[in-house]
Chains A and B, each alone.
Chain A
Amino acid sequence: MHRILFAAACAAALAGCAGTGPSGSASDAAVRAKAVEMLKTSFKERGIAKLDRLDQDETQLLCSQYTTVAPPKDVVEKIEKANMALVKPPSDGKYLGDWKRGEQIAQRGTGFQYSDTKDTPVGANCYACHQLSKAEISYGTIGPSLNNFAKVRGYGPDIQKYAWGKVYNAHAYSACSFMPRFGSQGILSEQQIKDIVALLMDPESPVNK
């Protein structure tokens, strides 16, 4: 009887809570479901930020469950596979744009906040979390240093493709990464992602100097 109730709660509240998660019990699922309901009545739309932003996709749903413990292997594989399928290569096959524009995009932190408009320039805010160019000393440490990105990894097409994919959708390579999925979520344009990839990959970019 308990097992049936447990299975029903799992099916109703979330996919894949077969007791493998750190918090995969039926009562835990009930608390999560109630928290989601609470969020929906507590937030209100403002400007460009509508309430549908609280609707989680499967990646967000799964990654919200594995918090203090890393997700198990099968969940990792599921998330990475689903997100890899969302990575679209550049339409003309060229990964590198203009690193100078890339640096501006990496510095800019605006876009998609309720205090922004649809016309506010959207940045990638890379420096909030990563070191890039050595000249910029105001950088965050949530993500790893990307200084000398291509100098260390190489300038070849395989690394260009990797950099593109990582910016486009970090969960394709690292499930439940903290990094936004700049391509898949429609945050940056194709050209902007090319410019960021150039900032990482161009031999003339200050990142590799």
Chain B
Amino acid sequence: MRNRLGYAGFIVLVAGLVAAAAATAQTAVQEIEKYRQALQDGNPAELWEARGEGLWKKPAGPKNMSLEKCDLGLGPGVVKGVYAQLPRHFADVDRVMDLETRLVHCRVTLQGLTLAQATARPFGSPDNKSDNDALVAWVTSESKGAKMNVPLAHAKEKEAYALGEKIFYFRGGPYDFSCATCHASDNTRIRLQDLPNLTKQAGAQLAYTTWPAYRVSQGELRTFQWRLNDCFRQQRFPELGFASDASIALTAFLARNANGAEFKAPAIKR
């Protein structure tokens, strides 16, 4: 009898400890959520947006031309809402392009930069700002509130989507990781960071519509190309080339999965 009571007491004690630990974890999660919400007031991404608008309108490059004739998919010079419909097939190059690849194309064709010049600094650092970051911030900000509507009509759009899906599930490297290792299950997290399930509409919508984002921990605006690049770094892969075919295909897969959602970026994240 004594033993049984002792055992029951032990169970109660253990249950109490587990509950206390769970409560601590819960509090931590709530505090992090509060922090994330507090970040939403005043987003430094606006500084990138303003600089990007300036770069868009200012004559530059060997041809001393602005980017105002750049066709981002809805006609030359149209910026409003374009990002919600990218990546897409562009007839003039007969290729599928995401925003960042298309901006490189315009800087080369309209402004006369070499490809090397236009891709020299895709991602900025505090001492070394990137024109790509600023242009992306400006163009994407003009899609805020637009509904994601990535086309899948052209054969090359369908092909890019199918290839992107295969790349998403490709396991490799010393750790055997793929995108799917972290992003194909519901309700999982790394440490305390929730992971979106990018194979489902809700998860893809939540994730894709909040990039680009100002990353508080880095003091930089980070584009979707950066997001993919840094995921593959942590996957222990070699470096994903900026505006590479694989980056465009994977972006096509993820962006299309987000169709129907309201675009909300540039956002702000931890």
Contact = CB atoms under 8 A, between A and B. Distances in A.
A178 B78 CA distance: 44
A38 interface: yes
Interface residues of B, number: 48
A112 B174 contact: yes
Interface in A137-151: 137-142
B188 A141 contact: yes
B25 A137 contact: yes
Contacts of A114: 233, 238-239
A144 B169 CA distance: 22
A129 to B, nearest CB: 7
B156 interface: no
Nearest to B169: A67
B28 interface: yes
Contacts of A43: 232, 237-241, 244, 246
B16 to A, nearest CB: 12
B170 interface: yes
A60 interface: yes
Contacts of B173: 49, 53-54, 112
Nearest to B182: A142
Contact of B233 (A63, A113, A181, A185): A113
Contact of A46 (B28, B171, B238, B245): B238
A30 to B, nearest CB: 10
Interface string A152-179: 0000000000000000000000000010
Contacts of B238: 43-46, 49-51, 53-54, 114
A113 B234 contact: yes
A128 B191 contact: yes
Given A113-B233, A180-B177, A139 B191 contact: yes
B60 interface: no
A120 interface: no
A53 B185 contact: no
A59 interface: yes
Interface of B: 17-18, 21, 24-25, 28, 162-163, 166-167, 169-178, 180-182, 184-185, 187-193, 195, 199, 232-234, 236-241, 244-247, 249
Given A42-B246, A56-B171, A112-B175, 7 more contacts: A38-B167, A42-B241, A46-B239, A55-B172, A63-B176, A137-B24, A185-B175
- The 4 residue pairs across chains A and B that have the minimum distance between CB atoms: A42-B246, A42-B244, A35-B166, A46-B239
Interface of A: 31-32, 34-36, 38-39, 41-46, 49-51, 53-56, 59-60, 63-64, 67-68, 112-115, 127-129, 134, 137-142, 178, 180-181, 185-187
